[in-house]
Amino acid sequence: MGLAKRIIPCLDVDNGRVVKGVRFVDIRDGGDPVEVARRYDEQGADEVTFLDITASSDNRDTMVHVVEAMASEVFIPLTVGGGIRNNEDVRRMLNAGADKVAINTAAVRNPDFVKQAADHFGGQCIVVAIDAKQVAGAESPRWEIYTHGGRKPTGIDAVEWAVKMTEYGAGEILLTSMDRDGTRDGFDLALTRAVCDAVGIPVIASGGVGNLDHLVAGILEGHADAVLAASIFHFGEYTVGQAKQRMAECGIEVRL
């Protein structure tokens, strides 16, 4: 017995509201991130991630308030990502009650930002988010990272980037397969394994989960330390508890 593999429900938040809402039968307000997070906490989620897709900085203040409200009521770890550009953004989110911040585009634009943030706040609260897409026609499989919510190719190799970010002090990698995101076909296991085996820090697999066996495969075949999913939980298809039960049946250590 030892460290449990984690299940992390993820919410997209726009101007303080959950995008598309969450459809549990018995929830009062499926658009309120705090209420949804509380439900996931009750179901046994190990952490919660909020991705702020808000475009304007005015609305970002709203996100700070959401994080504050969450931290007053839900006592499990919270990661906040989206639009984190500098140490001040990191500070605001951590002071509001976030445990970790996820940095994506800003890390690619200025890798030293990751180093500075890790030095200042401690690497354990700096998550580097990587959006990766398989390079078509490559002889052996390889993946390129994209920024700006997956719109801009960078030419940077995903595995090399993950290793570099580890050296820069990141405490965790949030790895999303753009090829799989939204498909419900399961994680890109080759990508997940390539990154997980290349770095000494924990990796969260993301993108493509359509059923509980996909979560199991992410751990057993992808070698992930944690699995992140959105839609399978949001639409009430499965609870986090059911996901953990299934993982436990497959011999994965989870917090039940």
Partner 1 sequence: MNTVAVIDYGMGNLRSVCKAIEHVAPAARVTLTSDPEEVRRAERVVFPGQGAIAGCVAALVESGLRDTLLQTMRIKPFLGICLGLQALYDFSEEGGGTPGLGILRGQVRRFPVEKMTDPETGRVLKVPHMGWNQVHQMTPHPLWNGIPQDARFYFVHSYYVDSADPSCVTGATGYAVRFTSAAAHENIFAVQFHPEKSQKAGLRLLENFMTWDGGS
Alpha helices in 185-226, H assignment, sequence order: 189-198, 212-220
Q: Which of the ranges 3-11, 102-110, 134-142, 143-151 carries the binding residues for partner 1, by CB under 8 A? A: 3-11
Q: What gap in Å lies between CA 29 and CA 36, rounded to an integer?
A: 8
Other CB atoms within 10 A of residue 183 CB: 13
Closest CA relative to residue 173, chosen from 153, 156, 195: 195
Q: Known catalytic residue: 131?
A: yes
Taking the complex as a whole, how short is the minimal distance between the CB of residue 172 and partner 1, in angstroms? 6
**Amino acid identity, position 71:** A
| Interacting positions 38-97 with partner 1 (CB under 8 A) | 41, 46, 68, 71-73, 75-77, 91, 94-97
21 touches 15 (CB < 8 A): no
Q: Which of the ranges 12-20, 50-58, 121-129, 229-237 carries the binding residues for partner 1, by CB under 8 A? A: 121-129
**Amino acid identity, position 23:** R
Taking the complex as a whole, how short is the minimal distance between the CB of residue 138 and partner 1, in angstroms? 26
Is the sign of the CA dihedral 54, 225, 181, 44 positive or negative?
negative
| Residue among 14, 89, 131, 188 flagged as catalytic | 131
| Interacting positions 170-229 with partner 1 (CB under 8 A) | 171-172, 197, 199-203, 223, 225-226
By the rule CB under 8 A, 145 interacts with partner 1: no
Q: What gap in Å lies between CA 180 and CA 197, rounded to an integer?
A: 20
By the rule CB under 8 A, 36 interacts with partner 1: no
Q: Known catalytic residue: 12?
A: yes
Contact positions vs partner 1 (CB under 8 A):
1-6, 41, 46, 68, 71-73, 75-77, 91, 94-99, 121-125, 171-172, 197, 199-203, 223, 225-226, 255
